[in-house]
Chain A
Amino acid sequence: MRPATLGSRTRRHVLRWTALAYLLAILVGPLAMVFWRTFENGYDAAWSALTTPETVQAFKLTLLITAIAVPLNTVFGVVCALAIVRRDFPGKGLLNAFVDLPLALSPVVVGLSLFLLYGREGWFGGWLEEHDIQVLFALPAMVLATVFVSLPFVCREVVPTLREIGDEQEQAARTLGASGWQTLRRITLPAIRWAIVYGVVLTTARCLGEYGAVAVVSGRIQGQTETATLRVEERYDSFDVQGAYAISLVLALLAVLVLIAMTVFQRKEETA
């Protein structure tokens, strides 16, 4: 018995340290480097890199796009999940596939397709130009791109929870004379709220970090259509690696905040 436990302990340690070493090499090590590089030339250098008007504007734009895309996707995600779980209709499989598509599709492809749709030679380009509406290289296209890439998260979080809670309570409410809207507000939404919040957190993270799709449609006008992630690239291109790292660090800190939110809400969802 004894050698067996010893063997199993060794094995456990080997597995544990292999896993941790892998995480250190792939994940933790590189992240620690960013911290170090950002403050290599002192705190002031990092701070002044962050407070240039263009960088501040880039962060504002990122937040603005997120503030538009997240509510849109939240409403869509909840309605879509309700339709998928609670209703029956032909073409449900197709709808499912379309909702999942952004998870698997390259963001560049998304950007390109918007370019083809709203560019001057695109499908709607002529009409938009006649009416002097700027979509491409302006906020609307950037929002569309971001909405696309962050589309599935709320829906995908809500669907399993809806399945799990079943519809007995909803039916009971309806027999008691509640309208569909009342049932939704009083029964369904409270039951899925943590799933929604968790989905919102995931959506927010994706919106804050989007690069590929936005890069194609932004036109990169400094201080106007440049998001924080594009600004990272711009700084790197301008030989200002320090500035690039500083902006990256702020984005990474936002990511950590999101992560903390995720852990908290995940636990709530599990206990709910």
Chain B
Amino acid sequence: MAYTLEGRTGIWEVVVGLEIHAQVISESKLFSGASATYGGAPNAHVSFVDAGFPGMLPVINKECVAQAVRTGLGLKAKINLFSRFDRKNYFYADLPNGYQISQFEHPIVGTGDVEIELQDGTIKHIGITRLHLEQDAGKSMHDQHASKSVIDLNRAGVALMEIVSEPDIRSPEEAGAYLRKIRQIVRYLGTCDGNMEEGSMRADVNVSVRKPGEEFRTRCEIKNVNSVRFVMHAVEAEAMRQIEVWESGGEVVQETRLYDPSKGETRSMRSKEDAHDYRYFPEPDLLPLILEQEFVDRLKAGLPELPDEKRERFCRDYAIPFYDAGVLVADQATADFYETVAKGRDGKLTANWMSGDFFAAMNRTGKSIENPPVSAADLGALLDLITDKTINGRIAKDVFEEMVETGKAPAAIVEEKGLRQVTDTGAIDAAVTKVLADNQDKVAEYKSGKDKLFGFFVGQVMKAMQGKGNPALVNEAVKKQLG
């Protein structure tokens, strides 16, 4: 069921396109040798090139180019062997040259395609228009001094990839899923850390609304939204605002807006009339960027397995449902952890344990997949104890908690606490006999037709055996003695 918004005049459809700015992972900046590391004392990572000193010239960083190509390949996009840098001219205190070096007419990456999955399991394709390389600006701070603004140029010149989508997105959910998917892909590729809190990934959101079947109406651009949740909220808030404007007889004007998360609304930043004339022209300090097909092929050969392919392989090789596989490939480290455990074991059992107790423990203890609550080897050993029937599933949960608590190996815990499963039918029969004797009233009820009590008896037997009874054997014994 397509997402629509109900207005006074009927149903409205939302049309969204995203421009994602992703900071490239690289040692140094796009056009200078200064460090591109996040943080550092203000203005500690600034070369004369970054500061726009007279006579300084940019030199393209080959690694940044390679990262953009890898990302393009990950987006199943066309790699343009000819691309060119342009200057985007505007004045701002944290833009040292008075222009940003970007790619306007000839981006390094052309059209591509990304698959997103929605809550209901639907798969949708979102078109990629282009990806281009550009420099980041510095940071202005207006709250550090009574009358002065303070500028930190550490980020000035750091390489960004701007990934532009087609206006194929039709709901806040799709916008969120798309942004998460792009983040997942660049993280898999190691081309951007996708860290939205630190600003290494942020999105400009283009939103318009229309009546079903109409052409596109005027759009507004919401700048610099810095979380998946805010992108989803911003789409909804902006769509509602535009519907209100249209329905009250007004007209949406093309403008740049800001999303205010505290108020949950967008507000105007500058109108089209105030828009900068960026006076783009080819950067004369750089020659066009010509890539050899061989360079692209080499990068392609070195790409890691991407989430979509990995997910399909997991379904195939480990016989797990598509949904489960999706959870496990959410990030590379989780997928690797899963594979380490699942190798040579029951894939489905592994998947269940990871998405169940393991993730729960990770969240509860505040740990991460890189620093897991239980190592892959220990989790595997635990699953082995279940598989070879040393312990049953119930006890395994307790052992697991003990592992989380103490970091001990599962076999040691089982031995120490005597948790081996009881398969001695004599002991089981004795326990059943006692439980039935102690609950004669319930036995009577059962016999008069209250079948549901069967589970109660099994539970009582397990309890009497401190959970160690082999569940199948206990079931069998209860059934037999109840006649």
Q: Do these two chains really belong together in a complex?
A: no
B-to-A contact residues, CB < 8 Å: none
